[in-house]
Chain A
């Protein structure tokens, strides 16, 4: 197989707003056909990087290529090959779903007939055919997001840029958007998305770049990243009298060394296999005749990523409510 050229190539990009270095020397590149997730807290520089890549913003320094074309010297050629869904759904309330998609189709330069045909295809694909001829003001938040994301598909872009595609929508709609993104990649589109949720990047992305204060602080596959973080942690609440026996049983069951967290009065042990470790641990405790007061599986959160990588909470970081993680913890 011939070596493929990277579909996105960013080198030493700097962009400042006054005193703020929104992008402080970002470099990254990846191959076509994958999902690349840019993970970072509020103010990390995600949107700024997306704006640079989609020709909306000129960097102060650095090189940017998309689909093999220099973004700075030939932005119009880049625009024929990309699609953008910004951080907030940019669909017109007073147009119908179909009109929104058809408008974007015309602006991509499709003929009226092609536009009509492809808009119908796209609406079918995002399961909005039934609502297609209703004005968008009657749509739910999730439907708007999907429409916004899909409007660009009418131009059959090589690379889609999605800025926080699931922020602010309910878990059900989030699943719909995830499926749509998976479907997109299956059909050969490259996707670059930004997210504040590790869970989302984990589920969708082939490669993840963690951005913080305008710099990429680490990069790799989801597994590589988790190895760096040490994976999930099992926390067990145990009566003081049983603690020693329980720690012995947990050590035997997991092959790891449990520790007692004084402050929270929990026994913690690394859970390399996630739920598998949890089941093994509960069984071991049960056969030792110990009943825990509390069991919880903690997956590494974005907080942990920053704690591990920078030894520091990002300034002003508010942990994002992540229903997917919360649900998993509850069911554990």
Chain B
């Protein structure tokens, strides 16, 4: 082993970066498999939302929703809930990262000759896969209590993938928040700060028409509404959209949001990561 001093610092190769990312993703996923109660709790809440909203509000709201939903509130609700649980699920990224930081696991990783990026990408990958599992369970319950997509199977699948891509983008937002607040306790509450107003001031549960003007302008243009509308367009048809909107247009706008959020927050998260741990 030679210790020649060179001007160029050693780098982690691309193939090592891939291996490291797989190793870290696997490690993070294993936690959900070994502690199945985590996944269970993560699913109970959205299923409860689904049942409560459907049976409590369904009767009253069923009349006011666009006819493409076939008069069933659940058809209207399901695409919105998929976005809601994707948003809530992404919060796990902040909590998982802060737990690892407080336990010294991140220090261990950083002292190893591994790709630095793998810590964050391995975390966000694992969280989106975990989100996929929760979404699948939700859909199973949804189908059981009467949800039916009104378009075609490929469009329905495209909608699910769009929801998961959004979850992935939000994971980077949550990673940034987690790295900023440091402690798991603080992360618990900090993640809901942006999520709650965005989810409720949106078209997730109800059409936005009845909101006061100032709120409706915000609600109609914020990403959660845009993506919820795209999902409804894909799963129910163009009739689910506001006049003048097209399914393609909403999907494109959604993709723009997803790519934009991911790009901005991946950079922010990596930067915060460098600072948070030194």
Residues of A within 8 A of B (CB): 51, 54-58, 67-70, 73-77, 79-80, 82-84, 86-90, 92, 94-95, 99, 103-104, 106-109, 135, 151, 155
Residue in B5, B34, B105, B278 whose beta carbon sits within 8 Å of that of A135 in the complex: B34
- A82–B114 Cα gap in the complex (Å)? 13
Residue in A75, A77, A107 whose beta carbon sits within 8 Å of that of B23 in the complex: A107
A-B contact count (CB 8 A): 85
Q: List 21 A-B contacts (CB under 8 A).
A: A56-B107, A56-B110, A56-B111, A56-B277, A67-B3, A74-B6, A76-B10, A79-B112, A82-B111, A86-B108, A90-B103, A92-B27, A92-B30, A94-B31, A95-B30, A95-B34, A103-B23, A103-B27, A108-B112, A108-B114, A109-B114
Residues of B within 8 A of A (CB): 3, 5-6, 9-12, 16, 19-20, 23, 27, 30-31, 34-35, 103-105, 107-114, 277-278
B10–A92 touching, CB < 8 Å: no
Please give, as numbers and ranges, the residues of chain A lying within 8 Å of B16 by CB-CB distance. Answer: 109
- A79–B10 Cα gap in the complex (Å)? 10
Q: How many Å from the CB of A121 to the closest CB on chain B?
A: 19
Residue in A58, A84, A106 whose beta carbon sits within 8 Å of that of B278 in the complex: A58
Tell me whether A87 and B104 are in contact in the complex, defined as CB-CB below 8 angstroms, given that A58-B278, A74-B9, A94-B30 are known contacts. Answer: yes
New A-B contacts (5) at CB < 8 Å, excluding given A86-B107, A94-B35, A107-B109: A58-B278, A68-B3, A86-B104, A90-B107, A95-B27
- A74–B278 Cα gap in the complex (Å)? 16
B103–A84 touching, CB < 8 Å: no
A107–B30 touching, CB < 8 Å: no
B113–A90 touching, CB < 8 Å: no
Please give, as numbers and ranges, the residues of chain B lying within 8 Å of A75 by CB-CB distance. Answer: 9
Closest chain A residue, CB of each to CB of B8: A74
Q: How many Å from the CB of B221 to the closest CB on chain A?
A: 42
- A70–B11 Cα gap in the complex (Å)? 15
- A107–B20 Cα gap in the complex (Å)? 6
A55–B110 touching, CB < 8 Å: yes
- A79–B114 Cα gap in the complex (Å)? 8
- A325–B66 Cα gap in the complex (Å)? 79
- A92–B35 Cα gap in the complex (Å)? 12
Closest chain A residue, CB of each to CB of B38: A94
B111–A77 touching, CB < 8 Å: no
- A67–B113 Cα gap in the complex (Å)? 15
Q: How many Å from the CB of B154 to the closest CB on chain A?
A: 38
Closest chain A residue, CB of each to CB of B109: A107
A90–B105 touching, CB < 8 Å: yes
- A51–B109 Cα gap in the complex (Å)? 13
Q: How many Å from the CB of A17 to the closest CB on chain B?
A: 11
Most buried by B among A88, A94, A99, A108: A94
A55–B10 touching, CB < 8 Å: no
Please give, as numbers and ranges, the residues of chain B lying within 8 Å of A56 by CB-CB distance. Answer: 107, 110-111, 277-278
Please give, as numbers and ranges, the residues of chain B lying within 8 Å of A151 by CB-CB distance. Answer: 108
Q: How many Å from the CB of B14 to the closest CB on chain A?
A: 13
Q: How many Å from the CB of A155 to the closest CB on chain B?
A: 8
- A108–B12 Cα gap in the complex (Å)? 11
Residue in B5, B12, B113 whose beta carbon sits within 8 Å of that of A70 in the complex: B5
B3–A104 touching, CB < 8 Å: no
- A217–B278 Cα gap in the complex (Å)? 26
